[in-house]
Amino acid sequence: MASNDVFVSTDWLAERLNAPDIVVVDGSWYLPAQARDPAADYAERRIPGAVRFDIDAVKDTKSDLPHMMPRPEVFAAAVGAMGIGDGMRIVVYDGLGLFSAPRVRWAFKTFGAKDVVILDGGFPKWQEEGRPIEEGPPRARAARSFTARLDHSAVADADDVARALSSASLQVVDARPAERFRGEAAEPRPGLRSGHMPGSLNLPSSALVANGRLKSPDAIAAAFAEAGVDLDRPIITSCGSGVSAAILSAALETIGKPGRAIYDGSWTEWGASDRPVATGPAKKG
């Protein structure tokens, strides 16, 4: 599937690959357990002309939390140096098909980029179809000017989440695997408690993805309903460190129910704090 507002097809990109107003971005990022090096992968093979966006480099370096959103001027300088400027159409992909690309798209959108889409199926689909691959040292792009204005409403912090949970004004939906949400499996990052935010709901991002692609709109809506989520009420998405939460947000957007915000610090922040933690399944309704 593909949505014109969120996804573009490999056919669409192949026809426009050399267009001067389009920039392709490799936004690959992997969990430690996946044992892959996104920088090395990019250096070896990529979609022709693609630039690399590293969420562990373009971040708030003053925060102890991983890949938190940086200040607007930091983001603007970084992406401008990549050759990404105002008015360009940005196409983001990742090496798993659909994992970290939604986070990169969300970052660009939150800093004011108007036209940012995800490549449906990502690099795996592009390769499977025998489309052009660039190898060797990447080509440098001329620097451009990118105007970054942070949409604060799209980024939730721990206090926002605590207020939402205490007042039930917003739903908080956690994209982590069910075992971690219930507190039955240890967190991959050391020093974090197991469990979830009391009152939050659980929809593992993996339930929305099949073979590196987002499932159908009907399947997405059904998965949210099964998780106890009311699609007509505002939603904050969360996960381990703000990456897979963006998969939920992208899925919501494709069915016309965009989420309110992403909790940037996610469980890495909450689980290391003294805020309340619950275990067991979510209490729906």
pLDDT digit string, tens, across residues 171-215: 999 999 999 999 999 999 999 999 999 999 999 999 999 999 999
Other Cβ atoms closer than 10 A to 271: 21
| Size (the chain), residues | 285
Instruction: Confirm if 131 and 15 have CB atoms less than 8 A apart.
Output: no
Nearest to 205 by CA among 183, 233, 227, 188: 227
Phi, then psi, of 134 in degrees rounded to 5: -100, 135
How far is 229 from 69, CA to CA, in rounded Å? 27
pLDDT confidence tier of residue 33, bands split at 50, 70 and 90: confident
Nearest to 111 by CA among 60, 165, 159, 75: 75
- The residue-averaged pLDDT of 245-255 equals 97
Tokens found for residue 157: 């912090």
pLDDT confidence tier of residue 168, bands split at 50, 70 and 90: confident
Q: Residue 1: what pLDDT? A: 40
Percentage of the chain beyond pLDDT 90 is 94
In the predicted model, is pLDDT for residue 2 greater than 50?
no
Can you list the alpha helix ranges (DSSP code H) found in 62-212? 72-81, 101-110, 122-128, 158-167, 178-182
Task: Catalytic residue, from 98, 148, 239, 248: name it.
Answer: 239
pLDDT confidence tier of residue 32, bands split at 50, 70 and 90: confident
Fold of domain 7-150: Oxidized Rhodanese; domain 1 (3.40.250)
- The residue-averaged pLDDT of 262-269 equals 98
Sign, CA torsion 145/151/155/158: positive
Instruction: Confirm if 92 and 119 have CB atoms less than 8 A apart.
Output: yes
Q: Domains of the chain: which residue ranges?
A: 7-150, 153-270
Cα separation values, 264 from 63, 218, 238, Å? 12, 28, 7
Overall CATH class of domain 153-270: alpha beta
Instruction: Confirm if 55 and 103 have CB atoms less than 8 A apart.
Output: yes
Amino acid (one-letter) located at 26: D
Average pLDDT over the chain reads 96
- Tell me whether the CATH fold assigned to 7-150 matches the one assigned to 153-270: yes
Tokens found for residue 43: 């250096």
Q: Clarify whether 33 is annotated catalytic.
A: no
**pTM of the model as a whole:** 0.97
